[in-house]
Structure 1
Amino acid sequence: MFDIDDVAHAASRALPGHVWDFIDGGSGGESTLAANRTALSGICLVPRALTGVTRGDCAGEMLGSPVSAPLAVAPMAYQRLVHPDGELALARAARSAGVVYVASMLSSHTVEEIAGVGAETWFQLYWLRDRARTGELIERAEAAGCRALVLTVDVPRMGRRLRDMRNAFALPGTVTAANLETSAADGRGSTAHAARPGASAVTAHTAETLDPTLSWADLAWIRARTGLPLIIKGIMDPGDGTRAVDAGADAIVVSNHGGRQLDGALPSISALPGVVRAVDDRCPVLMDGGIRSGADVLKALALGATGVLVGRPALWGLAAGGQDGASAALRLLHTELEEAMALAGCGDLTAARQLPVRTTAGARVTDEGTAR
């Protein structure tokens, strides 16, 4: 596997069609899914010459923890769908790569099992209808040794994922939301496992489990509940970025949920500079959505991101070859980022964040400079 496209092709061959559609698809007509890639492709880096740089040093930190590269594995649900070892294998790959692993609330292994792998682990939360249960999950994440909480705020309801509806997608009985189920038997009886023609069982499960009324007022409850750093994921509007920091966010993730929520939403990379300017160095700003190469990571850094979350590429690696496949995918991104930095004349991440970029619109090129 020489690039992430090779990883994707290997994963597509390894998975049943309905599972591939579940992890690869977006919402609606998948215009935002495609736009994430188109927007990244339309950004051009301006390399600097005669810098004397022989290699790009990717090492840095994320929320105070050292990392080999400014990467985190994004929170993704039900990873045992694509490999029997699921989240444990991907967390081991993240540990081996020296990058952050973000454990989904809807993981198919418990947060205790995942954190026990020893990776730098953050725990992702949705706002549950049962607030007491949300509090219990926060306590479990703290006790397990998670280093941060990531609250996803862009799922008041799940977007219409047409591939899953056409496939009448449901989880197999062997895959459960382990953090929410008291036993495997309970999981087999949940809504997520009840296939219905023309519907996604996972969407039905989400509707009955998550509280769509999450608002700014609720952030104060979470902020008061934990001393862990609080990261707000799903911010696209600059005003929302400012408000998130005012509400106690320690970091922000600019994200359109990988094109799986509002179809027609702005590409994440296009929203990034405005949020960075609005936040004005008051907290780190990360992004996800469409990252497929080390050059994409460098583009995000040049536009002001502290780091990026990588979703599908890591999951494709897991599907293609378990821990080894996931490690290969993360290694590819690290190698490509190091090479892109060296070729652009950036010896370290500080230089990478000062690299000029241009954006293309058809044959027209506009000067975007940097986000600061």
Structure 2
Amino acid sequence: MSTHAPVRTQDFAALAERSLPAPVWDFLAGGSGEELTLAANRAALDAVTLVPRVLTGGAGRTTGADLLGTAAALPLAVAPMAYQRLLHPDGEAATARAAKAAGVPFVLSTLSSVPVEEITALGADTWFQLYCLRDRAATTELVRRAERAGCSALMVTVDVPVMGRRLRDLRHGFALPPEVAPAHLDPAGTGRTHDKRAGSSAVAEHTAQAFASDLDWDDLARLRADTRLPLIVKGVLDPRDAARAAALGADAVVVSNHGGRQLDGAAPGVDLLPAVREAVPDGCRVLLDSGIRSGTDVLKALALGADGVLLGRPVLWGLAVDGEQGVREVLRLVESELRSALTLSGCAGPADARRLGVRGAAR
């Protein structure tokens, strides 16, 4: 740790970059292609400005919110992120413990390096993120496994028919070390994640073999019929897709471009957020993913119509720097920033944010 305590989540980024091998840092930090969308996510959020209210009385009383029936301490969930044991030996277990301590849901990836049963045993409110596999029976078994383990929601990612072309990983010939593997997939088929070859990504090659690349709306309808868990559809940008997902019974949609890691040149999620909010019924929750770095970013998302956000890379920065304690500190910083932003904008809590004036974004 630095002699100066981090005072914002980005301070953890600098510490994490210094502590990690370059290939691992680039796997964490990088985007696809020329990383245009990766940069655009931040530029779009930075361009949003808020019009605070004054003399409202009791501003900043609470940061709590309801997220799919969960009384969360913050209007956020920890985003699903793969292979967290790359960053710390405890991996997803450390992150889940920190999320539980912070009172927010933890979303566990299909590509977790720790199995779902070990995560739910820690007591965190756990949502399971699903990648649909070529083997449809294996996909169904993943859903059943998440249900048996006690997950409280299912989040299906729909924007990865194939993994985006991530140039940093190709330059490194990125592969997982022997001690890290996808805990939920067939061990006999995951050895290729460790096969390092110049100019290729072993992780991308593995997902190309494992993931279904031909998902359609019928698949989503079957998944909706196949589970009683709340269903969240992640990876939506077009309001027409959001509306169709809601019509098929999705309980929530996540406006996301996968953190700039899929289609390079895709629009920033925050730019589409207001239109998505208008396209879905009030009963369908809307979450924003991609580019969130601070409590002020959370407030901007709420003001533009989101019910909450997914927090991604900052959590991994904290994990890389100091394990569970690092993640706890990242979440504490976001909570402190959000409380300050709510107070200064005249909002008693997250529910008031939608009444704020917003500039610099489509509405």
TM-score (norm 1): 0.94
**Secondary structure at 1:353's aligned position in 2?**
helix
What is the match of residue 24 of structure 2? 19
Partners of 2:69 and 2:130 lie apart in 1 by 21
| 1:319-367 per-position Cα deviation (integer Å, ceiling 9, x unaligned) | 010000000001111110010000000011221121111017xxxxxxx
Residues 236-255 of structure 1: matches in 2 within 5 Å?
236-255=237-256
Would the aligned equivalents of 2:59 and 2:347 in 1 still touch at CA under 8 Å?
Answer: no
CA apart distance, 1:5: 1.1
Would the aligned equivalents of 2:176 and 2:193 in 1 still touch at CA under 8 Å?
Answer: yes
CA apart distance, 1:47: 0.6
Aligned-CA RMSD value: 1.1
What is the match of residue 343 of structure 1? 344
Structure 2 residue ranges without an equivalent (≥5): 1-5
Would the aligned equivalents of 2:107 and 2:129 in 1 still touch at CA under 8 Å?
Answer: yes
Q: 1:175 aligns with which of 172, 176, 180?
A: 180
Would the aligned equivalents of 2:246 and 2:281 in 1 still touch at CA under 8 Å?
Answer: no
**Secondary structure at 1:53's aligned position in 2?**
coil
Partners of 1:355 and 1:278 lie apart in 2 by 20
CA apart distance, 1:54: 4.5
Residue type at the aligned position of 2:354:
R
What is the match of residue 103 of structure 1? 108
Residues 78-117 of structure 1: matches in 2 within 5 Å?
78-117=83-122
Partners of 1:220 and 1:26 lie apart in 2 by 31
Would the aligned equivalents of 1:166 and 1:198 in 2 still touch at CA under 8 Å?
Answer: yes
Q: 2:57 aligns with which of 46, 52, 56?
A: 52
Residues 286-365 of structure 1: matches in 2 within 5 Å?
286-359=287-360
CA apart distance, 1:246: 1.0
Structure 1 residue ranges without an equivalent (≥5): 361-367
CA apart distance, 1:309: 0.1
Confirm or deny that 1:269 pairs with 2:270: yes
Residue type at the aligned position of 1:161:
R
Q: What fraction of aligned residue pairs are identical, expressed as a percent? A: 58
Would the aligned equivalents of 1:56 and 1:339 in 2 still touch at CA under 8 Å?
Answer: no
CA apart distance, 1:259: 0.1
Confirm or deny that 1:42 pairs with 2:47: yes
Q: 2:137 aligns with which of 109, 132, 137?
A: 132
Partners of 2:311 and 2:284 lie apart in 1 by 20
CA apart distance, 1:181: 3.6
**Secondary structure at 2:355's aligned position in 1?**
coil
Partners of 1:170 and 1:18 lie apart in 2 by 9
Partners of 1:166 and 1:159 lie apart in 2 by 14
Partners of 2:101 and 2:308 lie apart in 1 by 18
Partners of 2:169 and 2:314 lie apart in 1 by 20
What is the match of residue 147 of structure 2? 142
Higher mean C-alpha deviation, range 136-145 or range 49-58: 49-58
CA apart distance, 1:53: 2.9
Residues 108-257 of structure 1: matches in 2 within 5 Å?
108-182=113-187, 186=188, 190-257=191-258
Partners of 2:169 and 2:22 lie apart in 1 by 11
Residue type at the aligned position of 1:286:
L
What is the match of residue 3 of structure 2? none
**Secondary structure at 1:155's aligned position in 2?**
coil
Partners of 2:327 and 2:39 lie apart in 1 by 23
Partners of 1:350 and 1:196 lie apart in 2 by 50
Residue type at the aligned position of 2:150:
G
Partners of 1:55 and 1:148 lie apart in 2 by 29
CA apart distance, 1:56: 4.2
| 1:113-164 per-position Cα deviation (integer Å, ceiling 9, x unaligned) | 1111111100000110000001111011001000000000000111100000
CA apart distance, 1:10: 1.2
Residue type at the aligned position of 1:70:
P
Would the aligned equivalents of 2:59 and 2:349 in 1 still touch at CA under 8 Å?
Answer: no
What is the match of residue 363 of structure 1? none
Partners of 1:353 and 1:86 lie apart in 2 by 36
Partners of 1:107 and 1:56 lie apart in 2 by 36
Partners of 1:349 and 1:326 lie apart in 2 by 22
